Structure 1
């Protein structure tokens, strides 16, 4: 799970299951497309979202070992 902020709502944080992310685009806003087709626009940049997903996955694999 990663914590993100809804676009144009700096106080509206939410948690997203990173395993549901299919694609991330910057158009110039960051748009996350989920595996079910739903699209989310977030305040974070594409690079920030990717970093959060990588940190999340590292933490999971670290606990498996």
Structure 2
């Protein structure tokens, strides 16, 4: 899940796994696989950075689960 902001400043949380595409129109529009669309303040690059951080956190959690408890 990634936190973003609508144009009016309201924070929203989007499941990054369901993002189909991101485009600049000139605002940033996020389209989900279910057809829902969101216009956000963040740039395309900032949204991508949030997705990368989210996916890195998932990988870190996976690695932590593999470690034996001592």
Q: Provide TM-score, normalisation by structure 2.
A: 0.86
Runs ≥4 residues deviating over 4 A: none
Number of residue pairs matched by the alignment: 63
1:24 offset after TM fit, Å?
A: 0.2
Correspondent of 2:19 among 15, 18, 21: 21
Distance 1:59 1:38 in 2: 25
TM-score, L = length of structure 1: 0.92
* Residue number in structure 1 paired with 2:4: 4
CA RMSD of aligned residues (A): 0.7
CA offset at residue 59 of structure 1? 0.4
CA deviations over 1:18-55 (Å, ceiling 9, x no partner): 11100000011100000011111001000000000000
Which one has a bigger Cα radius of gyration?
2
